[in-house]
Amino acid sequence: MFELKAGTQIYRVSFFHITDARESFRDAFQRYVEKDHHIIFPNAIVEAWLNRFPTKNQRGTWCVIQLCQDCTVSIIGTGASRVHPNDHFNKPTGRMKSLDRALKEAFPLNEHKEIRRQFWDAYFNTLSKSRLQSFRGLLGDVAVEVLQQERVHAH
């Protein structure tokens, strides 16, 4: 999950992975909602998702883009990527495909190109920060500082 502040707007992007082909979408969805109480999904969206994942053995990733404005939260875009039963489940690929589809739903016009670019920048910045945290845990603070300095000098 990540947030994007664009002008006075605040957008929240969440991802939901269905990794177990034996679990029904409805069960996986309930588990997710129980885990992340801050997201309230309208029934119409839940039914649309259930229609996109009709079989029990369908794995995939969902992306939800919310607009947080004046203490109200509304869902402005959703995207899904499904995994073929014979393919390997890859979370990063699922996140990117579902985010791309959610952005196209939320911001379909050509003049929205800049806001879509801002979402992608925020997504990749979030990934970079999480990778640095992983390296910090594995290598320690000093090694991460050296990596960051090398990255700055490379640009």
Hey, what are 83's tokens? Answer: 């995994």
The overall average pLDDT reported for the chain is 76
Residue 10 lies in a domain: yes
Domain count, the chain: 1
Residue 121 lies in a domain: no
> Vertex 14, ends 12 and 19: CA angle to 5°?
180
Q: For residues 91 and 17, is the Cβ–Cβ distance under 8 A?
A: yes
- pTM given for the model: 0.72
Q: Residue 104: CB partners within 8 Å, gap ≥ 6?
A: 77, 79
Q: For residues 86 and 57, is the Cβ–Cβ distance under 8 A?
A: no
Q: For residues 44 and 21, is the Cβ–Cβ distance under 8 A?
A: no
Residue 131 lies in a domain: no
Residue 93 lies in a domain: yes
Domain boundaries, position 31: 2-111
Q: For residues 58 and 25, is the Cβ–Cβ distance under 8 A?
A: yes
Q: For residues 81 and 103, is the Cβ–Cβ distance under 8 A?
A: no
Which residues does the chain have with pLDDT short of 50?
37, 154-155
Q: Which of 86, 107, 28 is nearest to 62 (CA)?
A: 28
- The per-residue pLDDT for 20 is 75
Is beta strand 72-83 parallel, antiparallel or unpaired with respect to 9-18?
A: unpaired
Residue 139 lies in a domain: no
pLDDT tens column, 26-66: 676 666 665 654 556 666 666 666 666 555 567 888 888 88
Q: Which of 59, 65, 67 is nearest to 21 (CA)?
A: 59
Hey, what are 28's tokens? Answer: 């996986």
